[in-house]
Amino acid sequence: MPEVSPRVHIVGHTVIDRDGMEAYLRELGTSWRPPAGATDAEAMVEFYGRLCYRSFEVGLNPNVRRVRTDHAEYIENLLSSGHGSVFEAVTVNFVISNVSRVFTHELVRHRVGTHISQESMRYVRYSDGLPYWVPRCIAEDPWALEFFREKWRIMEGWQRELAEHFRIDEEVNFSRKKELTSAFRRLIGEGVATTIGWSANFRTLRHVIELRTAPGVEEEFALVAGEILRACRERWATSYRDFEEVDVPGREWPAYVPRWRKV
């Protein structure tokens, strides 16, 4: 009956195909190159922003008399002007582990600009106990915490009894194992910890972070959304530095509010 804590892992993200990008830029007749020191992801955002206006340099578009040369200023201008479509060009691949089905049921509601691959409880059987995360309102109340753990132990007992009754560990037919595992999970609560793969573009991530750390949101989701923001800031500070940490009365974790909204 292991107690766990939600974890956020970045396992992949958009990178530039430099040969392809340079071929297009030569075709256009410009010497523009991804800014030195910029990450591939944020350089890709700038690339598509400039593509929209043919603003790689002065002279490519007669309507453009000057161009921004500072990468950070360019990204901030995209954010402040609400040019959000170019942020959809960059995708981040996450593995979010030790989260409940309560969390994943809410996460999958965010479908625009995302990809989802979830650990299947039809195939994956919990033979070493049911892992879980405890919400703070339960963890801070000794009676409630013991009650919670006691009921969890009962659920674990049901899984062992069913496994022993059907002798699932002796079963060699995988289809039968799958059938039984799917049946057993009907006696597992949504609080069981699981793993989900979730990919989202920059525009979607900004929206989800703001929405899911706001006052009144579900605690577990707020904690995960905060971890997603911290992970993104470590890699792509320019695209996420406008988020401000705001204390929420009566709550121990903050909200994150972007300076530039509805990007």
Work out the end-to-end distance of the chain between its first and last CA atoms, rounded to an integer number of angstroms: 43
| Greatest alpha-carbon span in the chain | 78
**Quick check: 88 and 201 in contact, CB under 8 A?**
yes
Strand 91-100, strand 114-118: pairing: unpaired
**Rounded Cα–Cα distance for residues 112 and 115 (Å):** 9
Active-site residue numbers? 212
